[in-house]
Amino acid sequence: MVSAGKCNTAAYPRVSVLIPLYNREKVVAETIRSVLRQTFADFELLICDDCSTDRSVEVVESFTDPRIRLIRNEVNMGSSETRNRLMDEAHGEYCAILDSDDIAFDYRLKVQVEFLDSHPEIDACSGPIAIMDGEGRETGRVWYKKPYGHDAVKVRTLFCCALAQTALMFRRGEVQKAGIRYVPGPANDLGFFKSAVHALRFENLGIPLVKYRVWPSQMSTEKAGQRSRALEHLYYQYDLLGLALTDADRQVLGIVVTGSPVPPEYADKFADLSVRIAMANRRTSVFDQQTLVAYMSDMYRRTVKEAKKLGLMTYMRYVCKCREFSKLLASC
């Protein structure tokens, strides 16, 4: 039987793997097994059940590994507060987040511990995630392949989520010291990162760390609610810049918050927003200016690639627009 809230080892482990759990009886066993076969063994696996109504708890209790700790919420608290409780209950020097329907690659903990051990200036790291469908079949897609480096991670929070939450590892003490918590409601990854990137230093590693399961519901009505909440978190960065957003700005951000490129028909609106961002940042220095300009220029180049689908003449027109945009940004 797994323990109910007590540490299983005489000394505290290096890593606490944190899994929030709610109604995942069909897949949570696979998630747990992926943690137990890690090549780095000095960890506790802390699972918090948020009042599941299926057999999820029974599945967890069927494992006998003493490194597993199961705690249970007395009432349904939602994923954000459950994640906060997991952080409060953790014993490890490092905390590694893993969603209850995802699968960690065997080397995940080893790679991240070695990186943080050798880079004391970095507080947290994540990495690319390989996408699989609800049945666990890999799709060949990989998300969060870049950016690399803290300044690039920080800049990306102006437009979308910068890191994969399910592959995140952080120094528990530094997160506690900074008072970083998960914000209630959907899109709690952006809710966590929106302020964390200004208090801590992050890195995005270049090796896939987790297989991320995408369910059909994430592609329908549930995704609309996630997007709305994600935009609210996104606007936090613009408040820091002191930049008032127009309706056109919000239209552009509503597209790019999903990670999609700016469509050609929105290119002028994006260019206007980008120039105002660069000018506002020149005054406030919230972000590294060089990294900011380079990232927004790269976003416009993605728009040019989209324009190529519309024919050669349209493509060439956007190539010229891109050159003008880059010169304008550089002058801000």
Mean pLDDT of 257-283: 95
Tell me: do 204 and 251 sit in the same domain: no
Q: For residue 20, what are the β-bridge partners?
A: 48
Residue 42 domain flag:
yes
- Residue 312: predicted pLDDT: 92
Domain that holds residue 272: 242-330
pLDDT at res. 6: 41
Q: Same structural domain for residues 85 and 28? A: yes
Residue 321 is assigned to a structural domain of this protein: yes
| Cβ-contact 100, 59 below 8 angstroms | no
Give SS3 for 210.
strand
CATH of the domain at 105: 3.90.550.10
88 and 158 belong to one structural domain:
yes
Check whether residue 313 and residue 212 sit in a common domain: no
pTM of the predicted model as reported, rounded to 2 decimal places:
0.92
For the chain, the residue count is: 332
Q: Which two tokens stand for residue 110?
A: 């080893």
CA distances 239 to 168, 194, 229, 233, 248, Å, are 26, 11, 16, 10, 17
Domain closes at, from 218, 233, 261: 218
Secondary-structure breakdown of the chain: helix, strand, coil percentages, each rounded to the nearest 5? 50, 15, 35
Q: Is the pLDDT of residue 1 over 80?
A: no
In a domain, 3, yes or no: no
Cα 266 to chain centroid, rounded: 26
The 3-state DSSP class for residue 19 equals strand
**175 and 251: one domain?**
no
Question: Last residue of some domain: 184, 218, 252?
Answer: 218
261/197 same-domain check: no
User: Looking at residue 83, what is its pLDDT?
Assistant: 97
Q: Is residue 233 part of a domain?
A: no
What is 245-274 written as a DSSP string?
A: PPHHHHHHHHHHTTTPPPPGGGHHHHHHHH
**What value does the mean pLDDT take over residues 48-55?**
97
pLDDT at residue 250 tops 50: yes
Instruction: Answer yes or no: are the C-beta atoms of 203 and 116 closer than 8 Å.
Output: no
Same domain for 28 and 148?
A: yes
Omega within 30 of 0 (cis) for the link into 147 = yes
Q: Is residue 298 part of a domain?
A: yes
The tokens describing 81, both together, are 């507060």
Please compute the mean of the pLDDT values over residues 62-67 and round it to a whole number. Answer: 97
Same domain, 201 and 275: no
> What does the pLDDT look like over 72-116, one tens digit per residue?
999 999 999 999 999 999 999 999 999 999 999 999 999 999 999
Does residue 292 share a domain with residue 144?
no
**Is position 1 within any domain?**
no
Within a domain: 227: no
| Listed residue (77, 63, 92) closest to 21, CA to CA | 77
**What count of other Cβ atoms lies within 10 Å of the Cβ of residue 278?**
19
Bridge partners (DSSP) listed for residue 40: none
Domains held by the chain: number: 2
| 38 plus 182 within the same structural domain | yes
Considering the domain architecture, whether residues 81 and 207 belong to the same structural domain is answered as yes
